[in-house]
Amino acid sequence: MRASLHRHFRQFLRSAALCAVAALVSGTADAGDKPTTAKQQPSDQTIVCAFYFAGDHFNTADYRLRDSTANYKMEFAINWEHHTGPAQKRVHAGDLTSIVMADLDFTLKRWPNHRDAIRTLIEYDLAGGKSYGYAPTECWLRHAHEYAPDDVDVILAEAYFHQRKGDREVAKSQYEEALAQGSKSPEVHYNLGLLYFDLADFPHAQEQARIAYADGYPLPGLRNKLKKAGYWTEDDDSVPSRPTASQPPPAQ
């Protein structure tokens, strides 16, 4: 009981301080202070993220090693039963309360690149869920990427989130990074093709669409857009299909 109260008190202090930092950086921006150059001036989001994780040395574990030892397997199963699984169910049911963030915060402090927790967090955020004093979604994604820079699932989750938020250039660079690290998912090519199309880069959109549909991607949205723009012909429709790979959710 005492340990639980101590943990909740620490979270309360962290939440209060996080809100104070957010208000401070916002107030500074509103005050009309002359900013320094982009390279010298960290973003407000960077400050908030750095503050949230400062001073904590989490006992982290790589999600990809969850089945590597008996202890990891047991811990992962317990976490799923009591934290990640319930959070996922609540979000699917439309429950966007602070309980969800508490469970995901607990999970991601231990498993920063936990694929299902990250996907649930993104779904929660896109549905309108608030951070309730916990780290914002962008901070958790950045933390996961810094913890496991070679985890393609993390990069794809970041790209998908930023694409849905309208940060097209950021999402594009992350999809390209995922491809550079060897991702072969047709979903990546499809979503990257949508981004290129939205950026009016039709030749590259066509190139990505050809790859996605050759890999058997089923949704016709990108193809239809390219047809209307005059960048898809009958020859493109004749590209033979290949079996599909495991895919992240579509951005469209």
Interval 10-66: pLDDT, tens: 444 454 444 444 443 344 334 444 444 444 444 566 676 877 877 555 689 999 999
Question: In what helix (H) or strand (E) does residue 199 lie, and over which residues does it extend?
Answer: none
Greater pLDDT, 99 or 233: 99
Residue 226 belongs to a domain: yes
Residue 33 belongs to a domain: no
Are 130 and 177 found together in one domain? Answer: no
Residue 134 structural domain: 45-53+61-149
Are 79 and 129 found together in one domain? Answer: yes
Domain end residue (candidates: 103, 120, 149): 149
Residue 12 belongs to a domain: no
Could you tell me the CA-to-CA distances from 182 to 83, 153, 205, 210 in Å, in that order?
Answer: 31, 11, 19, 18
pLDDT for res 59: 86
Predicted TM-score (pTM) of this structure:
0.75
Domain end residue (candidates: 81, 115, 149): 149
Greater pLDDT, 21 or 132: 132
Per the structure, the count of domains in the chain is 2
Domain end residue (candidates: 119, 149, 179): 149
Mean pLDDT, the chain, integer: 82
Are 175 and 145 found together in one domain? Answer: no
Given a contact cutoff of 8 angstroms between Cβ atoms, the answer to whether 161 and 125 are in contact is yes
Spatial separation of the C-alpha atoms in residues 138 and 184, rounded to whole Å: 25
Spatial separation of the C-alpha atoms in residues 78 and 186, rounded to whole Å: 33
Question: Of the candidates 83, 231, 53, which has an alpha carbon nearest to the alpha carbon of residue 147?
Answer: 53
Residue 69 belongs to a domain: yes
Find the helix packing angle between 85-92 and 115-126, rounded to 10°.
Answer: 30
Are 110 and 184 found together in one domain? Answer: no
pLDDT for res 136: 94
Domain at 188, CATH number: 1.25.40
Are 231 and 201 found together in one domain? Answer: yes
Spatial separation of the C-alpha atoms in residues 57 and 60, rounded to whole Å: 8
